């Protein structure tokens, strides 16, 4: 099994090599690869690896990292650089992007909306979920989504009430 650290960018104009150069990932001890995948038609898939570590992100893990733990145990010395790099990508893209650290070919079990500040803290505190895909959004967007969820919930509650009344 191989750890992959991924950023998906939902953007019509695909992210290109010049964008990657501008990120200067190597100053933070990382390399970024632009992956060609099915997703490429709709956006860009970036893979983050440690500088000099080859094609996967396994080198980020500590030797004690458990395979079934809900959060990864990454080496403490890589946390700040990784958090800063994701921050740089967010600054460069300025649109919807996701971040995850998953075993190769495994799908996330949970999707979570976070601000870039929240994600920065999650990475910095070594709390990256091992089955979570983080959707980085602005605070305003998250507020809007919460409102939609509230409305949906209110609607469902009303429906439930209706059905309950019909039965009795």
Give the shortest CB-48-to-Zn ion separation in angstroms. 13
- Using the rule CB under 5 A, is 47 a contact of Zn ion? no
The piece of 11-19, 32-40, 48-56, 79-87 that touches Zn ion (CB under 5 A) is 48-56
Q: How far is CA 146 from CA 14, 84, 150, in A?
A: 29, 27, 6
User: Is residue 56 near Zn ion by the rule CB under 5 A?
Assistant: yes
Minimum CB distance to Zn ion smaller for 65 or for 96: 65
Is there a contact between 152 and 160 (Cβ–Cβ < 8 Å)? no
Pair of tokens at residue 140: 């305003």
The CA–CA distances, whole Å, from 15 to 39, 91, 161 equal 12, 13, 49
Exactly one of 47, 53, 58, 96 binds Zn ion (CB under 5 A); which one? 58
Residue whose CB is less far from Zn ion, 54 or 95: 54
| 2 interacts with Zn ion by CB under 5 A | yes
Range in contact with Zn ion (rule: CB under 5 A) among 30-38, 57-65, 85-93, 122-130: 57-65
Q: Are 64 and 73 in contact (CB under 8 A)?
A: yes
94 Cβ contact partners less than 8 Å away, ≥ 6 residues apart: none
Interface with Zn ion includes 145 (CB under 5 A)? no
Shorter beta-carbon distance to Zn ion: residue 2 or 51: 2
Residue 30, CB half-sphere, CA atoms under 13 Å: how many? 30
Q: Which residues bind Zn ion (CB under 5 A)?
A: 2, 56, 58
């Amino acid at each position: 099994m191989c750890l992959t650290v991924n950023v998906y960018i939902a953007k019509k104009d695909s992210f290109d090599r010049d964008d990657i150069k501008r990120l200067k990932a190597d100053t933070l001890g990382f390399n970024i690869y632009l992956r060609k995948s099915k997703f490429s038609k709709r956006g860009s898939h970036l893979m983050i690896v440690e500088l000099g570590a080859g094609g996967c992100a396994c080198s980020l893990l500590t030797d004690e990292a458990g395979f079934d733990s809900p959060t990864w145990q990454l080496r403490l010395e890589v946390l700040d650089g990784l958090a800063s790099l994701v921050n740089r990508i967010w600054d460069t893209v300025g649109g919807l992007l996701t971040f995850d650290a998953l075993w190769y070919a495994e799908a996330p079990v949970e999707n979570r909306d976070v601000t870039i500040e929240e994600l920065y803290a999650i990475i910095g505190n070594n709390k990256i979920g091992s089955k979570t895909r983080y959707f980085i959004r602005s605070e305003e967007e998250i507020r809007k989504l919460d409102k939609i969820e509230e409305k949906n919930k209110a609607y469902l509650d009303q429906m439930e009430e209706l059905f309950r009344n019909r039965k009795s």
